């Protein structure tokens, strides 16, 4: 075999009909980069351009600002309160994750009635685009399923990290805090949401005390299934008085319908109890699937 010939089963730089391409069927089931082949000693031009485009989308997702006015309109008729973290700008937010976990000086929530069951905190995280396009329908779907609970006005936070929900929930005396956040973008998905649920939110809560529902996007966990999962977790958290690793054992019983079998491998880690994943960045949990939630 010539040194320039592709290995058996590999895809060369030329287009190969799907009928003779052994990777075609596998590529149809995943957004991962598999069976790219090569052109000489390099990847095919199309694969290189696709990579550069996805990388640019991921960078844009991180740096795009959240349009809070548009989001507030989409959340209507629910009342909305806007806050910001102690990170004054995006550059500081990316360099100082700790500032994204505390409220800016002078911000109080005294005007919001306390003693409620649940508060939603919607934060830009590391993908404002995901929040802009999906957070409002997700929140509405969750509220439809949690109509029996008392819910505070929705808090929209900018330059927000996961733990920003802790001082907000504590200030309101909320029994539960659900932080809806744009996840750190990957090369396959740049607009994915995550939900972090914490019982008895207080500053200093650990990652192991939260439950995470991740990979909420068009090709991952659907909005309806994410809302179903959050509703189940919220009621179990109120019943048991815990979240995180102590609220794991039965979540896997949420069943997949036949129509979802094609997505089963992608949804499994999200439907299972993922309080924290195997990888960590800047001290906060990251579920196992890509793209990971914000650090």
Q: pLDDT digit string (tens) for 183-208?
A: 998 888 888 999 999 999 999 999 99
The string of DSSP codes covering 21-44 is -TTHHHHTT-SS-----BBTTB--
* pLDDT surpassing 70 at residue 277: no
What proportion of the chain, given as a percentage, has pLDDT over 70? Answer: 78
As a whole number of angstroms, the distance between CA 209 and CA 154 comes to 22
pLDDT in tens, 146-165: 999 999 999 999 999 999 99
User: Which residues, 6 or more positions from 148, have their beta carbon under 8 angstroms from its beta carbon?
Assistant: none
Q: Quick one: CA dihedral 174, 182, 133, 159, positive or negative?
A: positive
Q: Mean pLDDT over all residues of the chain?
A: 81
Q: What pLDDT does 28 receive?
A: 81
Q: What pLDDT does 12 receive?
A: 46
* pLDDT surpassing 60 at residue 292: no
Q: What pLDDT does 199 receive?
A: 97
* pLDDT surpassing 70 at residue 276: no
pLDDT in tens, 15-66: 555 557 788 888 888 878 888 887 888 888 888 898 888 889 888 888 999 9
Q: What pLDDT does 131 receive?
A: 96
pTM greater than the 0.85 cutoff: no
Q: What pLDDT does 175 receive?
A: 96
- Is 162 known as a binding-site position? yes
As a whole number of angstroms, the distance between CA 115 and CA 198 comes to 16
Q: What pLDDT does 290 receive?
A: 33
Phi, psi of 139 (to 5 degrees): -60, -45
Mean pLDDT throughout 226-241?
Answer: 95
What are the C-alpha distances in Å from 253 to residues 76, 248, 295?
Answer: 34, 10, 28
Query: Tokens 């744009």, residue?
Result: 182
- Is 212 known as a binding-site position? yes
As a whole number of angstroms, the distance between CA 98 and CA 112 comes to 25
Q: What is the dihedral of CA 84, 87, 89, 92, to 10 degrees?
A: -160
Asked if 274 and 211 count as a contact pair (C-beta separation under 8 A), the reply is yes
- 127-149 per-residue burial string, b: 16 or more CB within 10 A, e: under 16: bbbbbbbbbbebbebbbebbeeb
Q: What pLDDT does 228 receive?
A: 95
3-state DSSP call for residue 123? strand
- Is 236 known as a binding-site position? no
Within 28-126, where are the H helices? 45-63, 68-75, 90-95
Q: What pLDDT does 259 receive?
A: 43
CATH class of the structural domain 63-286: alpha beta
The DSSP letter of residue 133 is I
């Amino acid at each position: 075999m010539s040194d320039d010939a592709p290995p058996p089963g590999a895809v060369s730089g030329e287009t190969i009909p799907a009928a003779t391409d052994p990777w075609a069927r596998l590529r149809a089931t995943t957004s991962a980069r598999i069976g790219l082949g090569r052109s000489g000693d390099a990847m095919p031009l199309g694969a290189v351009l696709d990579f550069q485009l996805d990388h640019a989308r991921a960078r844009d997702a991180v740096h795009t600002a959240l349009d809070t006015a548009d989001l507030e309109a989409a959340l209507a008729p629910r009342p909305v309160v806007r806050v910001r973290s102690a990170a004054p700008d995006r550059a500081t937010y990316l360099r100082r994750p700790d500032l994204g976990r505390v409220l800016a000086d002078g911000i109080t929530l005294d005007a919001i009635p306390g003693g409620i069951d649940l508060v939603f905190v919607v934060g830009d995280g590391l993908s404002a685009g995901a929040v802009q396009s999906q957070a409002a329908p997700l929140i509405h779907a969750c509220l439809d399923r949690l109509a029996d609970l008392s819910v505070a006005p929705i808090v929209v936070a900018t330059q927000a990290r996961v733990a920003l929900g802790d001082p907000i929930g504590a200030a309101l005396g909320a029994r539960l805090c659900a932080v809806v956040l744009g996840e750190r973008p990957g090369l396959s998905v740049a607009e994915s949401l995550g939900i972090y649920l914490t019982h008895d939110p207080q500053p200093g809560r650990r990652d192991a005390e939260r439950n995470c529902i991740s990979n909420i996007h068009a090709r991952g966990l659907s909005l309806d299934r994410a809302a179903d999962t959050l509703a189940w977790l919220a009621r179990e958290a109120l019943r048991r008085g815990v979240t995180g690793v102590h609220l794991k054992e039965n979540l896997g019983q949420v069943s997949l319908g036949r129509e979802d079998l094609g997505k089963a491998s992608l949804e499994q880690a999200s439907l299972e109890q993922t309080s924290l994943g195997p990888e960590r960045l800047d001290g906060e949990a990251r579920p196992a699937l890509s793209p990971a939630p914000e650090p």
